[in-house]
Homo-oligomer: A and B are copies of this chain.
Amino acid sequence: MKFAAVDVRQAASAADIVYEALRKAIIEGDLAEGENLRQDQIAQMFNISRIPVREALSRLEQHGLITTQRYKGAVVAGLSIEEIEEIFEFRALIEAEVIRLAVPNLDREALEKARRHCDAFDRETDPHRWGEINRNFHYSLYEASRRPYYLQNVRSSLDRIDRYLRAQLSFTNGVPRAGREHEAILAACEQGDADLASRLTRDHILDAGRSLMTFLREQRG
């Protein structure tokens, strides 16, 4: 018997849907840090019971996106300046290595894809989309590293600080600079210079971290 190849991914469970929705809302900054997350309220929003909501919240807590206290509930986790600095330092280390490993494997297709995301980033005017496109650009290069575990950690660390990064990109004029740095990274990749791409990626992340720090220090006083 012949049949079309169908993506038979298991339909997402309710807990999966809630988890993804809350994760997205947190990393995009739609849920402010410190905001209360009531199980019942979330359950009603999705028209489900609290059971899958609890499961979703438990997962979010494992990833450090929320904190929970018995009888008190969950709140969106806030990060101190020191914690944010540490995560940027970590990202610089990991992502510099990931792109170093990726460069030898980058083919024409991957480079073209990265080019499209790079251009899209420069053209985009909606602040809410910068974060997404920024991820797409970096991931399109990182994927060639063929290191799923590294990528999982890249994603996890970026998830934690993405909302701050997005806020900074929106409130300051960090976008043109990020765009230029993207161009330089992509050029190094196109020339097959792994060391240069690695150094530029590291600097790109540390620069963004420093900008964010000054932004936050002044915002938080």
Give chain A interface residues in 60-119, CB to chain B under 8 Å.
62-64, 69-70, 83, 86-87, 89-90, 93-94, 97
Instruction: Give the size category of A's interface with B.
Output: 20 to 34
B55, B64, B93, B149: which contacts A58 (Cβ < 8 A)? B55
Tell me the interface secondary structure of chain A in the complex.
helix
A93 and chain B: residue at smallest CB distance: B97
**Across the interface, do A83 and B149 meet the contact criterion of CB distance under 8 Å?**
yes
**Across the interface, do B147 and A86 meet the contact criterion of CB distance under 8 Å?**
yes
Chain B residues near A69: list those with CB within 8 A: 10
Knowing A13-B70, A62-B63, A69-B10, the reply to whether A86 touches B55 (Cβ < 8 A) is: no
A15 and chain B: residue at smallest CB distance: B58
A51 within 8 A of B: yes
Given contacts A10-B69, A51-B51, 18 further A-B contacts (CB under 8 A): A10-B70, A15-B58, A54-B55, A55-B55, A58-B58, A58-B59, A59-B59, A83-B148, A83-B149, A86-B147, A86-B150, A87-B149, A89-B147, A90-B150, A93-B94, A94-B94, A149-B157, A153-B153
